[in-house]
Amino acid sequence: MKDTTKTAFRAVAVLGVAFGLCVTGLTAADAKSNPIKDAMAKYHKAPKGTDPVCKKAGAGTASKEEIKGMLAAYTAMAAAKPPQGDDASWKAKTGALVAAATALDKGEAGAADKYKGAVNCKACHDVHKGK
Ligand code: HEC
C-alpha cells in the first residue's frame, strides 16, 4: 500500500474512533454520568503513591496527552451543573481551569503557575461541592 493511502486509512480510523467515543459519551450523559466527578476522579485524584495529573501539571511534568485529556474534562465540567453555588461563580472558576489548561497545552510561559492558581480545590469545593 502506498504511504499516502496508509495515512488516509489511519485518519479515517482515528476519526471513526473519535466519533464512536462522542456518541457513547452522549448516550452515557443521558444515563447518570457526571462530568464533574469524572474530571475529579481522573485528574485530581490518583492511586496511593502516584501523583495526580493536576499535581504533575502544576509541576510541569504532565504529558501532552494528560494535558489534552484534562482540558477536555474541564471543558465538559464547565458545561455541567455543580450541586450548589451560583452559575456566575461556576463559570468563572471552571473558565479559569479551561484557560489555564489551554495555556499548558500551548506551552505558554507561566502556564503552570496560572494552573496552580486555578485548581484551588478548597475555594471551589466550599462554594460548589455540596455536602
Ligand atoms: C472549579 C471547581 C473545582 C475545583 C477547582 C476542584 N473541584 Fe473537586 N469537585 C468539584 C465539585 C462541584 C464536586 C462535586 C461533584 C458532584 O458531587 O456532583 C467535586 C468533587 C470532588 C471529589 C469527589 C468526587 C466524587 O466522585 O464524589 C473529589 C475527590 C475532588 N472533588 C477532588 C478535588 C481535588 C483534589 C481538587 C484540587 C486539586 C479539586 N477537586 C478541585 C469542584 C471542583
Is residue 121 a contact partner of residue 44, using CB atoms and an 8 Å limit?
Answer: yes
**Per residue in 101-119, pLDDT tens?**
999 999 999 999 999 999 9
Query: Is 85 exposed, middle or buried, given 0-12, 13-18 or 19+ CB atoms closer than 10 A?
Result: middle
CA 44 distance to own-chain centroid: 10
Rounded Cα–Cα distance for residues 86 and 128 (Å): 8
Confidence grade of residue 131 (pLDDT, cut at 50, 70, 90): confident
Distance 61 CA to ligand 1 centre (A): 22
Q: Report the nearest-CA residue for atom 6 of ligand 1.
A: 121
Q: How far is the CA of 16 from the centre of ligand 1 (A)?
A: 32
What is the mean pLDDT of the segment spanning 10-22?
A: 57
In testing the pocket of ligand 1, which one of 51, 54, 55, 121 has its CB within 8 Å of the most ligand atoms?
121
Residue with the bigger pLDDT between 101 and 20: it is: 101
Show the ligand 1 pocket: residues with CB < 6 angstroms.
34, 36-37, 40-41, 44-45, 54, 82-83, 93-94, 97, 119-121, 124-125, 128-129
pTM for this one? 0.81
Confidence label for 28 from pLDDT (cuts 50, 70 and 90): very low
